[in-house]
Amino acid sequence: MNKGINVSTLVSEFNLTVIGATDNPILYPGSLKKHDKNSILWTKNIDNLNQIQSGYIIVNYEIAPTSMRLGVTYLITEEKARLVYAKIMNKYFDAEDDAFFNYVEEHKRNPKIRISDNCFIGKDVEIGDGTIIHPNVVIHSRTRIGKNCVIKTHVSLGTEGLGLELDKETDEFVKFPQLGGVVLEDNVEIGPCATVRRSALDDTIIMKGTKIGSLVNIGHNCIIGRNCILTCQIVTSGSSVIGDNVFMGVSSIVKNGVNIGNNVTIGQGAVVTKNVPDDVVFVGNPAEDINDYKLWSKVKKRLIDMFGKDI
Query: Does 298 reside within a domain?
Result: no
47 and 127, same structural domain? no
Residue 310 within a domain: no
**Chain-centroid distance, C-alpha 243:** 15
Is the same domain home to 157 and 54? no
Return all residues near 24 (Cβ < 8 A) that are at least 6 apart: 37, 38, 55
| 68 and 160 part of one domain | no
Q: How far apart are CA 108 and CA 300, in angstroms?
A: 60
Is 308 among the domain residues? Answer: no
Q: Both 115 and 263 in a single domain?
A: yes
Assess whether 129 and 69 both reside in one domain.
no
Q: What is the pLDDT of residue 293?
A: 65
Whether residue 217 is found in the same domain as residue 154: yes
**Is 304 within a domain?**
no
Cβ neighbours of residue 197 closer than 8 Å, sequence gap 6 or more: 158, 159, 160, 161, 178, 182, 204, 217, 218, 219, 220, 238
Domain, as residue range, for 60:
7-92
In this predicted structure, what is the pLDDT of residue 134? 98
pLDDT score, position 299: 59
**In this structure, is residue 306 part of a structural domain?**
no
Assess if residue 26 is contained within a domain.
Answer: yes
When divided into structural domains, the chain yields a total of: 2
Say if residue 156 is in the same domain as residue 85.
no
Give the catalytic positions in this structure: 220
> Considering the domain boundaries, does residue 305 fall inside one?
no
CATH number of the domain within which 30 lies: 3.40.1390.10
Q: Are 21 and 86 members of one domain?
A: yes
Q: pLDDT 10s digit of each residue in the chain, 311 long?
A: 456 888 999 999 999 999 888 788 999 999 888 999 999 999 988 888 888 999 999 999 888 777 778 889 999 999 999 999 999 998 888 655 556 799 999 999 999 999 999 999 999 999 999 999 999 999 999 999 999 999 999 999 999 888 888 999 899 999 888 889 999 999 999 999 999 999 988 999 999 999 999 999 999 999 999 999 999 999 999 999 999 999 999 999 999 999 999 999 999 999 999 999 999 999 999 999 988 766 666 656 666 666 666 55
What pLDDT does 302 receive?
64
Are residues 128 and 73 located together in one domain of the fold? no
Which of 92, 122, 154 terminates a domain? The answer is: 92
Based on the domain organization, do 51 and 123 belong to the same domain? no
Say if residue 88 is in the same domain as residue 206.
no
In this prediction the pTM is 0.86
C-alpha dihedral, 274 to 280 to 285 to 286, nearest 10°: -20
Domain CATH code at residue 256: 2.160.10.10
Task: Classify residue 233: in a domain, yes or no.
Answer: yes
Indicate the residue among 69, 92, 115 that finishes a domain.
Answer: 92
Q: Can you give the pLDDT at residue 1?
A: 46
pLDDT value of residue 120: 97
For residue 21, the model assigns a pLDDT of 80
213 and 88 within one domain: no
